[in-house]
Amino acid sequence: MARLHPWGGHGRVRRVHNPALFCTLVTIRFPACYPAVRKAGHHLTTHYDDEALFEYIEGTSPISRDIELHVSECEECSLEVVEQREMIAQLGTPEMWDTPPPPPRQFVIDVVAFAERARYEEQDAVSTCDAVLTGPAAWWAQRLRQAGNAYTGGMVKELLERMRSMLGTSPANALQVTALAIEIANALDVADYPCDYVIKLRAQACRDHAYVLSFMGRYAEALELTERAKRLFDQVPLPEYDLARLALVKASILRSTDRIDDAVTLVQGAADTFLRFGDKNRYFGARMTEASTLYVRGNVEEALAVWKAVEASEAPVDELTSVRLAHNIALCYSDLGRPADAIEYIQRCVAEYGMLGIEAERTRSRWLLAHALTACGKYSDAVPILRQTWSEFGQLEMIADAGLVALELAETLLLLGQSDEVPSICRDVIGQFTRAGMASRALTALSFLREAVAMGQASPSLVQHVSAFLRQLPAEQPRLFAPPPAGLE
């Protein structure tokens, strides 16, 4: 018959006879005869088997008296009884069957040890990025996934740092890098790092990805990323400083989408936060962003006053901020009808951006220089600069800016009376916008201009009208292109 056996083995699962234990044991079949013959040395000794001893311990054995006499004289069976009783006592405790909960996370960390780990991760990320971020950007994601040490917090920080150096020379590559940073940050286990370190990294990656998207003119996607970043920053303690940095990114997007008042509010709040934290560099950067927002709203003189005040304060800004400040001042001078004052600043910007290796900003400054030369009536001098600028924006995949420069080139050629090249410029711009998936309203405006050129009815003012319409498209205003009023041609 089947008997309960406490030590496991093969058999079926049953309950013990004693209901107080409520423990599950495994049964095996034993011989019908309780005594078992065991060989001890050269002699044959009779002992009771495990099942007989277990029934004796349970109090269900029909030969309890015989077993008790045997156990009192047999050291081996006596030891067996003691071990079985200890085992049954352990099986009867709740702790034996209840899985204890994991220990709570320790919020008091070894700061020195974590700092050393973070330093090691960042050093390792530098060498990994040097090896991975080469060749076509389409290869980078797979290379990084194959690197065994890539998924760390240090790698996220290094990728975001690499973005800053790439943005000026290749915005498309910078976007690929921030996308990889988001992928790695989302894959990190929050339990592997102290407190909210991983959540903060995820928020920073989303913020920087939004910044690159806005730089490339992809404002709807950028705005969505800023909202995701804010939700993440709201989960970490003391997020005010990081939220202020995020506010600057969002303000630049709102400024480009014609939500000027909201952008000004965000920038002013961010500036106050930076000043409260004692970060004068970012404070002056916020003031510069405020001036940019005023400029977009049409308050050119107010914007110039802020930028000139920052320049006169000799604020402790870095080289990049200094040259951007000069660019913005030149922009105001140009719009206020003082192109001669603007040219001095612009020439400095072109040279300094070149020394810093920031191709995108150097191209923007070169575009501004051509614009200032045109304002001075130096059309012939502006044409080769506009050609170079158009080409460089195309190489940087900044399609919207490339199209606007091309239209300015067409306008300048018309001012010179050289209209032969204008139709081909319009065709090229339409082709670029179509391949980039630009809004159909932009293509409608360009097609109208192309038809006007083909009919010999194009004029500089008509080109300006189309350019102004294209500049307003990022605001995604629900309006269609309309030809200019009568007499404007």
Q: What is the pLDDT of residue 273?
A: 94
Give the Cα separation of 185 and 160 in Å (integer).
11
Q: What is the pLDDT of residue 481?
A: 39
Tell me which of 267 and 4 has the higher pLDDT.
267
SS (H, E, C) the chain: CEEEECCCCCCCEEECCCCCCCCEEEEEECCCCCEEEEEECCEEEEEECHHHHHHHHHCCCCCHHHHHHHHHHCHHHHHHHHHHHHHHHHHCCHHHCCCCCCCCCCCCCCHHHHHHHHHHHHHHHHHHHHHHCCCCHHHHHHHHHHCCCCCCHHHHHHHHHHHHHHCCCCHHHHHHHHHHHHHHHHHCCHHHCCCCHHHHHHHHHHHHHHHHHHHCCCHHHHHHHHHHHHHHHCCCCCCHHHHHHHHHHHHHHHHHCCCHHHHHHHHHHHHHHHHHCCCHHHHHHHHHHHHHHHHHCCCHHHHHHHHHHHHHCCCCCCHHHHHHHHHHHHHHHHHCCCHHHHHHHHHHHHHHHHHHCCHHHHHHHHHHHHHHHHHCCCHHHHHHHHHHHHHHHHHCCCHHHHHHHHHHHHHHHHHCCCCCCHHHHHHHHHHHHHHCCCCHHHHHHHHHHHHHHHCCCCCHHHHHHHHHHHHHHHHCCCCCCCCCCCCCC
Residue 24 above 60 pLDDT?
A: no
Residue 41 above 50 pLDDT?
A: no
Sheet holding 2-5, edge to edge: 2-5, 24-29, 13-15
Encode 41-71: b = buried (16+ Cβ within 10 Å), e = exposed.
Answer: eeeeeebbbbbbbbbbbbeebeeeeebeebb
Tell me which of 368 and 105 has the higher pLDDT.
368
* Cross-strand bridge partners of residue 36: 47
pLDDT in tens, 458-488: 677 777 677 666 666 554 444 443 444 444 3
Domain spans of the chain, in order of start: 2-95, 117-237, 259-314, 318-377, 382-489
CATH code at 117-237: 1.25.40
Q: Lowest-confidence range among 249-258, 259-268, 435-444?
A: 435-444
Q: Lowest-confidence range among 39-48, 273-282, 296-305, 480-489?
A: 480-489
Q: What is the pLDDT of residue 405?
A: 86
Cα separations in angstroms, 283 against 189, 239, 241, 277, 310: 35, 17, 11, 9, 10
Looking at every residue in the chain, the average pLDDT score rounds to 79
Q: Record the pTM.
A: 0.54
Give the Cα separation of 306 and 299 in Å (integer).
11
Tell me which of 192 and 318 has the higher pLDDT.
192
* Cross-strand bridge partners of residue 199: none
